[in-house]
């Protein structure tokens, strides 16, 4: 009986150790914006300004040389990204369908990644 109690207490001790608390720090914030509500810099480096809703204030974040750009999940150059965004704007009708996702470093407020998702018809 004593042996069963010791085994039970040992198991209980290891089970409780598995429930250790760990604080995760959020290092990025993200925004999903209709492309129509964002203004991208021409060269791919500079301020991207956007509104998260029609009535929201304009926010601005910096695209830097280290910002990574993605089109439909594939990494591309900044120039290819800017050109694709311009082409998507031209193709859009009254309703905006393309989405711009930006992932911003919480400390520097610079954009780490920018992604453009265009609808497939």
Q: Identify whether 18 is part of a domain.
A: no
In a domain, 77, yes or no: yes
- For residue 5, tell me if it sits in a domain: no
Closest to 100 (Cα-Cα) out of 56, 28, 40: 40
Q: What is the rounded distance in angstroms from the CA atom of residue 101 to the CA atom of residue 118?
A: 11
The pLDDT value recorded for residue 92 is 74
- The number of beta carbons lying within 10 Å of the beta carbon of residue 78 is 19
What range does the domain containing 63 cover? Answer: 28-117
The verdict on residue 112 lying in a domain is yes
Q: Is residue 32 part of a domain?
A: yes
Strands annotated E in 27-86: 28-34, 38-39, 46-50, 59-71, 74-76
Tens digit of each residue's pLDDT (9 = 90 or more) over 35-67:
888 999 988 889 999 888 778 899 999 999 999
Question: Are 33 and 52 within 8 A, CB to CB?
Answer: yes
23 occurs within a structural domain: no
> What pTM did the predictor assign?
0.74
Q: Is residue 35 part of a domain?
A: yes
| Structural domains of the chain, count | 1
């Amino acid at each position: 009986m004593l042996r069963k109690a010791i085994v039970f207490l040992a198991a209980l001790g290891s089970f409780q150790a598995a429930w250790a608390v760990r604080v995760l720090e959020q290092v990025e914030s993200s925004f999903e914006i209709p492309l129509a509500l964002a203004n991208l810099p021409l060269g791919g480096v500079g301020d991207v300004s956007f509104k998260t809703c029609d009535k929201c204030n304009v926010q601005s974040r910096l695209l830097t040389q280290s910002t990574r750009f993605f089109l439909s999940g594939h990494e591309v150059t900044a120039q290819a990204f800017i050109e694709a965004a311009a082409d998507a704007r031209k193709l859009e009708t009254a309703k905006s369908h393309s989405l711009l996702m930006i992932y911003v470093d919480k400390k520097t407020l610079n954009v780490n990644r920018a992604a453009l998702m265009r609808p497939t018809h």
